[in-house]
Amino acid sequence: MSENNAISLYDILFNLFKKAISVAYPDVSDPPVIIISNSNERFGDYQCNSAMALSKQLKSDGITAKPRGVAENIVSKVEGSNLISKLEVAGAGFINIYLKKEFAQKTLNTLVKNGKILPPYIKKQKVIVDFSSPNIAKEMHVGHLRSTIIGDSIARLLEFLGHDVLRINHVGDWGTQFGMLIAHLQDRFPDYLSVSPPIADLQSFYKESKARFDTDEEFKKRAYNCVVKLQTSNPDMIKAWQLICDVSRKEFEKIYTRLDIKLIERGESFYQKHMETIVKDLEAKGLLEEDEGRKVMFSKRDNEIPLTIVKSDGGFTYDTSDMAAIKQRVEEEKADWVIYVTDAGQSMHFQVLKHCAERAGILKSCHRIDHVGFGVVLGNDKKKFKTRSGETVKLSDLLDEGLKRTLEKLKERERDKVLTEEELKIAQESIAYGCIKYADLSHNRNHEYIFSFDKMLEDKGNTAVYLLYALTRIRSIARTANISQEKLREMAENIPISLEHEKEWKLAKVLIKFPDVLIKITNDLYLHHLCEYCYEISCVFTEFYNNCYCLEKNDLGEIVNVNMSRILLTEATAIIMEQCFSILGLKSVAHM
Ligand code: ARG
């Protein structure tokens, strides 16, 4: 840890108590160190609950020690620290930990002085986040939207923490569907090699070719032939394939630009050579088994279905590309950690993939692999999200509707009369895209999720709209008092933030939890915790603001007194909220 890092309270407390326990009970190997953060102050700001578990452990070693006694013993061994104001043993053997105000005050002053919050210390790693990953020629659907939003936010979190992050779009650009698409292209646009075919609607094009593929035997044969030629790099086939990919790519790009998502495209086709190699590798290691003409690989774990590595016609599959990709990622990219973001329906696939990669010696115990799964998106009717006519919803239409509805809301509030045209547009986009992202991220991703514009555009409760307004209001306090950002930073050097008022102290304690919240999310990759935290900040801020004046005004509404310390606390709140927003992919707005 250094001055360049935010301090994780949890880490410090954990280490202090770990040390105290090992001094108090040197003979206990691997003693339990249990530290929790408390929302109810009566039980301390944090609590160490090791005494109960330790007493049990001692008992099994034949030593009787009551939990309360154990707790007292631990407390007597905790070294003095600039963090703790008081320790007390309560109830059955809980140790209540009370934080020191000076510590929080210093932390917050430094924060405002720096004008930003630094990340907590972590060991830097190379991380690949594989997300979004739609399929070429098929519509990018709401499932891909979820992957895009969740994956982007995870990447933002890891980037903020200082990891070396590679954002990869593993597009489906190499499947058998290309055979029929190319065969159909040859028929519809025979001179595609010289004149770019005007395919505007790739989805109908896909449907047309699929219909022919399903009914026309001769066409089907030609389609198969095209795939074989494509995968052996026939130049005409590659050209046709590129044309089709380009049409899709342009559509995907539009969505990414609108949502401000950065991704490097590296689809299944990228791994063609790697697939050829891995098949040979696995074969040489004797890891492939024959199964009705296919070559499969078992993970050797109970209840796990095998991966299909080579199809009976000799072709590769989704499984082959993922085996090749994982090898390329750890061996060539030197990734320490790979994160896959897809719907929960694929969790078995990634579980088997991980186990097979371990079996093949590609993954070692130092690698971390996560499948970040998520539930399906439902409509208001709790059925699979579809248009009225039962079609998949086009993402661009969805974003358009978000914009339209947001503008209506802004007009209802007569914002169009106060904001300039430019400001209105910024607010509209920030709210529309922000609320779509936030609605997704604020729900536990394992659950199904009901897509509802009415809900996400509500301005009360844990919604993007509420939080965006909250931050805009917080930021406007200093502005009303005519204090610039530079001035705030300068003030932070000289004016210690007072935490004497109960509500000031409460807010400060929420703010200094930020590093711990990030560490928790890094472990479990559940972003809704960050949303809950953000909401907690804005609720506790409101309590503070309603009880502690920042600006005192006279009857004429003129400012007669400015409480500088509180303005600084306000600024600290804004900085942390802003950082949360940035991780969640939300854009704050100066005027809305
Ligand atoms: N294209 C796949 C789909 O739409 C998702 C790919 C996810 N990434 C991966 N490496 N398998 O379901």
Hey, how many other C-beta atoms are within 10 angstroms of the C-beta on 549?
A: 12
Map 20-35 to HEC letters. HHHHHCCCCCCCCCCE
Smallest CA separation from ligand 1 atom 4, residue: 134
What pLDDT does 2 receive?
52
Q: Rounded to the nearest whole angstrom, what is the distance from the C-alpha of residue 172 to the centroid of ligand 1?
A: 7
Q: Rounded to the nearest whole angstrom, what is the distance from the C-alpha of residue 133 to the centroid of ligand 1?
A: 5
Choice from 265, 342, 372 to test ligand 1 binding pocket (greatest atom count within 8 A of CB): 342
Q: DSSP for 36-98?
A: EE-SSGGG-SEEE-HHHHHHHHHHHTT----HHHHHHHHHHHPPP-SSEEEEEEETTTEEEEE
Is 141's C-beta closer than 6 angstroms to any atom of ligand 1? no
Is 148's C-beta closer than 6 angstroms to any atom of ligand 1? no
Is 248's C-beta closer than 6 angstroms to any atom of ligand 1? no
Shortest-distance atom of ligand 1 to CA 343: 12
Shortest-distance atom of ligand 1 to CA 346: 12
DSSP code at position 6:
B
570 — pLDDT class (breaks 50, 70, 90): very high
What pLDDT does 390 receive?
82
Q: Rounded to the nearest whole angstrom, what is the distance from the C-alpha of residue 284 to the centroid of ligand 1?
A: 28
Q: Rounded to the nearest whole angstrom, what is the distance from the C-alpha of residue 138 to the centroid of ligand 1?
A: 13
Whole-angstrom distance, CA of residue 300 vs CA of residue 401: 49
What values do phi and psi take at 449, rounded to 5? -140, 130
| Residue 537 CB contacts under 8 Å (≥ 6 apart), including other chains | 507, 510, 511, 573, 576, 577, 580
pLDDT digits (tens, 9 = 90+) for 73-106: 999 999 988 999 999 999 999 999 999 999 999 9
Q: Rounded to the nearest whole angstrom, what is the distance from the C-alpha of residue 167 to the centroid of ligand 1?
A: 14
Smallest CA separation from ligand 1 atom 6, residue: 133
For residue 366, pLDDT over 70 is answered with: yes
Choice from 139, 170, 333 to test ligand 1 binding pocket (greatest atom count within 8 A of CB): 170
Is 342's C-beta closer than 6 angstroms to any atom of ligand 1? yes
Is 268's C-beta closer than 6 angstroms to any atom of ligand 1? no
Shortest-distance atom of ligand 1 to CA 171: 1
Is 170's C-beta closer than 6 angstroms to any atom of ligand 1? yes
Choice from 133, 327, 377 to test ligand 1 binding pocket (greatest atom count within 8 A of CB): 133
* The pair of three-digit structure tokens given for residue 11, joined into one six-digit string: 């880490």
Where along the chain do its domains lie?
A: 9-99, 131-173+175-263, 444-584
- Identify the residue whose tokens are 């972590």: 122
Whole-angstrom distance, CA of residue 387 vs CA of residue 142: 12
- Identify the residue whose tokens are 């013993």: 73
pLDDT digits (tens, 9 = 90+) for 474-505: 999 999 999 999 999 999 999 999 999 999 99
1 — pLDDT class (breaks 50, 70, 90): very low
Closest-CA residue to 108 (of 379, 498, 529)? 498
pLDDT digits (tens, 9 = 90+) for 129-148: 999 999 998 878 898 999 99
Q: Rounded to the nearest whole angstrom, what is the distance from the C-alpha of residue 134 to the centroid of ligand 1?
A: 7
What pLDDT does 273 receive?
95
Is 267's C-beta closer than 6 angstroms to any atom of ligand 1? no
pLDDT digits (tens, 9 = 90+) for 25-80: 999 989 999 999 887 778 899 999 999 999 999 998 888 889 999 999 999 999 98
Contact 305, 348 (CB under 8 A): yes
Is 135's C-beta closer than 6 angstroms to any atom of ligand 1? yes
Is 429's C-beta closer than 6 angstroms to any atom of ligand 1? no
CATH top-level class for 9-99? alpha beta
Mean pLDDT over the full length of the chain? 94
User: Looking at the domain 131-173+175-263, which fold is it?
Assistant: Rossmann fold (3.40.50)
* The pair of three-digit structure tokens given for residue 563, joined into one six-digit string: 């409480």
Whole-angstrom distance, CA of residue 416 vs CA of residue 39: 41
Give the mean pLDDT of 560-576. Answer: 96
What values do phi and psi take at 452, rounded to 5? -140, 115
What pLDDT does 240 receive?
93
Q: Rounded to the nearest whole angstrom, what is the distance from the C-alpha of residue 221 to the centroid of ligand 1?
A: 27
Smallest CA separation from ligand 1 atom 5, residue: 133
Is 317's C-beta closer than 6 angstroms to any atom of ligand 1? no
Among the four given CATH numbers 1.10.730.10, 3.40.50.300, 3.30.70.141, 3.90.320.10, the one describing domain 444-584: 1.10.730.10
Is 143's C-beta closer than 6 angstroms to any atom of ligand 1? no
| Residue 447 CB contacts under 8 Å (≥ 6 apart), including other chains | 375
Shortest-distance atom of ligand 1 to CA 143: 4
Contact 96, 90 (CB under 8 A): yes
Whole-angstrom distance, CA of residue 33 vs CA of residue 50: 5
For residue 328, pLDDT over 50 is answered with: yes
Q: Rounded to the nearest whole angstrom, what is the distance from the C-alpha of residue 370 to the centroid of ligand 1?
A: 14
Is 172's C-beta closer than 6 angstroms to any atom of ligand 1? yes
Which residues in 298-430 belong to E strands, given as ranges? 307-310, 337-343, 368-374, 377-378
Is 434's C-beta closer than 6 angstroms to any atom of ligand 1? no
Give the mean pLDDT of 337-357. Answer: 98
Give the mean pLDDT of 158-175. Answer: 96
200 — pLDDT class (breaks 50, 70, 90): confident
Is 174's C-beta closer than 6 angstroms to any atom of ligand 1? no
Residue 263's SS3 state is coil
For residue 531, pLDDT over 90 is answered with: yes
ipTM over the 0.90 cut-off:
yes
Q: How far is CA 385 from the centre of its chain?
A: 22
Q: Rounded to the nearest whole angstrom, what is the distance from the C-alpha of residue 174 to the centroid of ligand 1?
A: 12
268 to each of 146, 170, 424, 467, 585, how far by Cα in Å? 20, 6, 41, 39, 27
Please state, for a pLDDT cut of 90, what percent of the chain lies above it: 85
Is 322's C-beta closer than 6 angstroms to any atom of ligand 1? yes
Q: Rounded to the nearest whole angstrom, what is the distance from the C-alpha of residue 341 to the centroid of ligand 1?
A: 8
Instruction: Give 84's strand partners.
Output: 99
- Identify the residue whose tokens are 């790697």: 274
* The pair of three-digit structure tokens given for residue 527, joined into one six-digit string: 């972003």
Task: Give first-to-last CA distance, the chain, whole Å.
Answer: 39
Whole-angstrom distance, CA of residue 267 vs CA of residue 246: 13
